[in-house]
Structures are given as structure tokens and as C-alpha cells.
Structure 1
């Protein structure tokens, strides 16, 4: 197997997400633009090795236990839940809002830690959910500190997903990112979802050379207005420091 073939096979695997956990061969081929025969061969190979399982009735594939096993290895080495979760729970209690930890994965964000608000009206995001980097405080806290080429690719992918008749207001986003870099934190309103505001801090690599994650608070904008920022920032900074110590970052 060549590296190009392996790369293509792994790319097909990334289509299995929280929102789309199962795929038939034909629908995945159509969605990915990869030939049916190639998709069929790749999915069958993954299934033979335990990375996927095929439903006997529908013929559709879903993620297998081998990936679950590998996920447990990642979970233990990346963010020990017994330590990370109490930090997120404390921040959720202090803020009264949904709190989540995100990881930069390729040119997208990935929610890897989550504590939901106890309020009936709250921001909704799922553990394991991916999100674009150009909307929301949790995303912009990461995107603001990436280089020009990285941001160019994020915008390109965003416009591709939106379709030919929709464009991103790149100049506005770039101005907002400049403010994030200046302040060191991101505060947004109604970007990731209607009537929702967010406040987030970036998380840096060990050598402080790159931002590779973020920790965020999100909820209704009437509860997360400008007047709430100073109070929440103090709690958010305390949480980010504790998280950095635990998951291999340093302040």
C-alpha cells in the first residue's frame, strides 16, 4: 500500500462523525467523490481489521471496537478525565454556563471535554463534535494564533462547504482575530448559534510556539454580555492554567 493510498483510506474514515456515524458504500462514494469500488475495498479492509463493523441488515458501516480501544489510549495519554472533568465542572459551576475543551485537529476544531449548563436555556455542543474555526469564541481563540497559510486554508474549506453562492466575510473575521491576539481571549455573539455568546482562552503548546486548543464558556448572550466578561475571565484563566498543567501545556 502506498502512502497516497493510505492517505485516501484514512480520509474516508474521517467521514464517520458524531452527526454521521454510519455510511453505506454508495452514499460515502457519492459524498466523498471517491470511486465506488475504492470505497467498497477500503471499508471492507477496515471492517476485516476491526476498525469498522457492517450491519448485516442494512449493509452500512459504523466505527468498530478497535477504534474504541485506541480511543481509550488517546484519552488516557491526552487528558485524564478524572482530573480534567473536575476543572471543567468547577468552571461550569462558577459561570453557570456550558463549558468545553477543544482541540485543534487539522483545519477544524474538535470538542474533547464538556460539562453542560444546568439552565434549561443553554448552548448545545456534543462531545466529539467537530466545528469550523471561523465562527465562535471557542474557534477564534485557536484560529487567531495560526499563520496566514493556515487561515487561508480554513477560509477556503469554509467557502467550499458553504457552496458557490455564499462567501465568508474574511476582512471582518481577520479584524476580529486581530482583537483576539491583542486581548489574549475571544468574546463573540451569535456566531456559532443564534442568541448565543461565548468567551474562550487559547491553550498553548509546551514550548509556547503554537496554540493547539481552547477552553470556552458558552450560553445565552443575555447572560454572557460585556459586563460578564471580567468576572468570567478570572475563572476561565484559573481553569486554563489547571488544564494546561494536566494535559501537557504550560502557562
Structure 2
């Protein structure tokens, strides 16, 4: 199973980042595989000076974003737990999803729905609904690749062209061959077809050993910028090509409802 949380972070280099960005980038080193760090370890891993890391860690500890587990060694702190609870209860996408959760269409007896947000050049699941017989890599808080799976493609296809071209050029050498066209114009045409269709679909691109397929559609903010997606994932044994268009339309309609509700919630908060 793919799990990006165990990969080394792509930290921000000192040459192109502000002091605040460098400080916050230290949080990326605290992963499930390595949850505890010493100052010396962070100095070596980040490339920052020892005095800078000491200063950053002290500031992060004062804010509760990291906490000492013993002298000179730190883990993520209680402030993150507090913020996670706040997000769970008040994230506009999750609040919008709560209003339609009981109405989620039962496209098959076994299915799972994922609500995801765009985060940097990754996609992060923020909500899971339903059940499958096997666990998937799309789990709350786990960053996933932007160039694999319907959940990500439904976001990727609606990104601005300039941003999309940058991502295509940066990721092509390491991307999965089946997900990249031979040229940028060809790839742009491929994504244009997805936008015209209104939804994305993919087959066993994230967890091949689980053998599932997904259908996903984009969610937008009030400015019309894509911010996330909703996807339905089911076993490949239940795939029926003649039903794809109708089921994709149903997922796209859910995405439109969430978009409307998210923007209505944002408007209400502005007026409060």
C-alpha cells in the first residue's frame, strides 16, 4: 500500500524561503516512521544551522506545535491535536458533506467515499465514508500523489494551465508512464476531455493489490478555483462500463452540491 507519510519530506531550502517557512518546514520531518527528532538530527536533515534549529524548535514548542519527550528530543505537540479537532468539526467541506452524507448514492453494496483537499502538490483525504473489504492508502491526513488516481485527477484537470504545465514538467520523469501523454499538448488535450466529461475515472492506480476503481469530481471555492474532490471507490469486480457515465454524473452532482454549500458557508462566515 502506498504511504507517502513515510517518505522524506521535501523541505524548503534556506536560499528560497523566509524564516517562517523554514521554521514550519521542520514539522514535515515528523512522520509516522520517525515521530521523534533531536535538534542535531533536524540540523543534519534540514541543512539549517544549529542556532537556527534551536530557535525554530523553541518557537514551535512555545506554540504547542512540538513538545519535548525528553531532553533535546521532540515530537509533534498538543496544538496539532486541538487544530485537528477544530478542523473535524468546522472545515467547510466536512460540514457540507455532513448535510448530504445520508443521501450518498449506493452505487454498489461495497463502496467508499473520499473527500479530499488539494495541499501543495499533493492531495490529502479529510473525510472517509462507507467501507471496503481492504484498507486503502487514501486515509485522513495521508498525502497522496497528484498524478495518480481519479481522486487526484479530478483536481489536476481543473488547475490553471500555467500551474498544470509546471507540474507536468516537474513530475513527468518520475510519473507513472500510463498517466502521462507523450507531450504537453497531448496531455493538455487528455485533461480537457476529462473537464468536458465532468468527472475523472481511474483503475487500480493507487493500490494495485486491492484492485479497485474510482470515480471523482472537483469541488471549487467561490472564485472558481479547484480546492478538492469527492470520489467513489469500489472493487474492480463491480465495474460496469455501461454505467460509468451515469455514475460519474451522480458523483459530479454531489461535487456541485458540496461546492454550493462550501461557498454558502463561507459567505455566512463573512457576514458573522
Using the size of structure 2 for normalisation, the TM-score is: 0.73
Equivalent in the alignment of 1:233: 248
Contact kept in structure 1, 2:220 and 2:228, CA below 8 Å: yes
Shift of 1:4: 1.2
Shift of 1:137: 0.7
The 3-state SS of whatever aligns with 2:256 is helix
Which residue of 221, 229, 235 maps to 1:205? Answer: 221
Shift of 1:230: 3.2
The 3-state SS of whatever aligns with 2:19 is helix
Go from structure 1 to structure 2 and tell me whether the alpha carbon gap of 1:103 and 1:120 turns closer, same or farther (over 3 Å shift): same
CA deviation vs aligned residue, 1:21-64 (integer Å, no higher than 9, x gap): 4444344444444344433431232113211112128x542222
More displaced 10-residue stretch of structure 1: 176-185 or 151-160? 151-160
Equivalent in the alignment of 2:112: 98
Q: How far, CA to CA, are the matches of 1:177 and 1:197 in structure 2?
A: 18
The 3-state SS of whatever aligns with 1:247 is helix
Contact kept in structure 1, 2:199 and 2:249, CA below 8 Å: no
Equivalent in the alignment of 2:158: 145
Count of aligned pairs: 242
Go from structure 1 to structure 2 and tell me whether the alpha carbon gap of 1:104 and 1:18 turns closer, same or farther (over 3 Å shift): farther
Shift of 1:19: 6.3
Shift of 1:82: 6.3
Equivalent in the alignment of 1:221: 236
Give the unaligned 5+ runs of structure 1: none
2:70 is the alignment partner of 1:46: no
Which residue of 235, 246, 249 maps to 2:261? Answer: 246
Go from structure 1 to structure 2 and tell me whether the alpha carbon gap of 1:121 and 1:5 turns closer, same or farther (over 3 Å shift): closer
Go from structure 1 to structure 2 and tell me whether the alpha carbon gap of 1:114 and 1:147 turns closer, same or farther (over 3 Å shift): same
Give the unaligned 5+ runs of structure 2: 1-16, 266-272
Using the size of structure 1 for normalisation, the TM-score is: 0.78
More displaced 10-residue stretch of structure 1: 216-225 or 176-185? 216-225
More displaced 10-residue stretch of structure 1: 179-188 or 145-154? 145-154
Go from structure 1 to structure 2 and tell me whether the alpha carbon gap of 1:78 and 1:35 turns closer, same or farther (over 3 Å shift): same
Contact kept in structure 2, 1:102 and 1:112, CA below 8 Å: yes
Go from structure 1 to structure 2 and tell me whether the alpha carbon gap of 1:28 and 1:231 turns closer, same or farther (over 3 Å shift): farther
Contact kept in structure 2, 1:89 and 1:115, CA below 8 Å: no
Equivalent in the alignment of 2:193: 179
Contact kept in structure 2, 1:134 and 1:173, CA below 8 Å: no
Go from structure 1 to structure 2 and tell me whether the alpha carbon gap of 1:44 and 1:75 turns closer, same or farther (over 3 Å shift): same
Equivalent in the alignment of 2:79: 66
The 3-state SS of whatever aligns with 1:199 is strand
Contact kept in structure 2, 1:99 and 1:215, CA below 8 Å: yes
Shift of 1:185: 0.7
Q: How far, CA to CA, are the matches of 1:176 and 1:61 in structure 2?
A: 46
Go from structure 1 to structure 2 and tell me whether the alpha carbon gap of 1:9 and 1:218 turns closer, same or farther (over 3 Å shift): same
Go from structure 1 to structure 2 and tell me whether the alpha carbon gap of 1:29 and 1:244 turns closer, same or farther (over 3 Å shift): same
